[in-house]
Amino acid sequence: MSILVNRETRVLVQGITGREGRFHTAQMKAYGTQVVGGVRAGKGGQEVEGVPVFDSVRQARAETGANASVIFVPPAGAADAICEAADAGIELIVCITEGIPVREMVQAAAYVRARGSRLIGPNCPGLITPGEALLGILPGAIFRRGPVGVVSRSGTLTYQVVAELGERGLGQSTCIGVGGDPIIGTRFVDVLALFEEDPETEIVVLIGEIGGSDEEDAARFITQMTKPVVSFISGRSAPEGKRMGHAGAIISGGTGTAQSKIEALTAAGVPVAETITEIVDLVAARL
């Protein structure tokens, strides 16, 4: 079992003719992902990395049976690309793009929800079910199959945690980077609910950061879960009002602090690691 993606997932790449789209199409194909088409208006009929290119998502879906899309479209057009995918009936939309205006993302996220699709991101590394499918920019070589579900707001921290888990022989069921922007399509609570229902996932690692209330909301949900969760919160030394890395990683008005998140998770019975290595120790102790 896995959540959201597996070897049957049929993937489109929106923005496939650009540098990033082309490069990561090749990487996803090399991993074994079924990349069945690309989309770039005005480029229909071409091929990129052996993948046929279509002028629209609707046409691509009709001809390939795609049920997922990965978006490598520049910020000015990324919100429209998200809406186009949802309008065409794509079930899973993964937006890698960062720098999308917040107002546009508010509208796009609502549009996706209204059409029953799921959006991962934006400003995210994507997701992977090791040995089955990789959607996005995650470095596939560091992942291995196992019982640990990973959900994170930070791509870089995800890679470090996964690499150290692997060194200890602890593989992953599915790993999802939800994104670091203020407006994202899928939150911690949504992913935790999927992991709770996944029989292959035995424990969950939650990697949070300052800004927003997603971790506090997750803490309340975790009290209802049967599976153990361990966590890490980055940005403990961040000053108020200064953005740290992600657009959503900002403390404002005394909210979104590392301390408030740590307290909420601790109260829910979730151990909060002080270092990346300690995360691995906490996971190993509970398996």
pLDDT digits (tens, 9 = 90+) for 186-235: 999 999 999 999 999 999 999 998 888 899 999 999 999 999 999 999 86
What's the confidence (pLDDT) of residue 249? 45
Q: Please check whether residues 61 and 146 belong to one and the same domain.
A: no
200 three-class SS? coil
Contact, 130 vs 201, CB < 8 A?
no
Longest dimension (CA), the chain: 56
What's the confidence (pLDDT) of residue 236? 58
21: containing domain: 10-120
How many structural domains are present in the chain? 2
Contact, 174 vs 206, CB < 8 A?
no
The CATH number covering residue 194 comes to: 3.40.50.261
Phi, psi of 34 (to 5 degrees): -80, 85
Q: Please check whether residues 71 and 150 belong to one and the same domain.
A: no
Q: How many CB atoms lie within 10 A of CB 168?
A: 12
The CATH number covering residue 58 comes to: 3.40.50.720
Domain presence at residue 200: yes
The catalytic site residues sit at: 246
pLDDT over 50 at 152, yes or no: yes
Whole-number CA gyration radius for the chain: 18
Q: Please check whether residues 50 and 159 belong to one and the same domain.
A: no
- Taking CA atoms, 110 is separated from 86, 119, 175, 192, 261, in Å, by 11, 10, 25, 21, 27
User: What is the H or E stretch that residue 31 is in?
Assistant: helix 19-31
Domain presence at residue 267: yes
Closest CA to 105 of 88, 92, 122: 122
pLDDT digits (tens, 9 = 90+) for 239-270: 554 455 544 444 444 557 888 899 999 999 99
pLDDT over 60 at 237, yes or no: no
Domain presence at residue 131: no
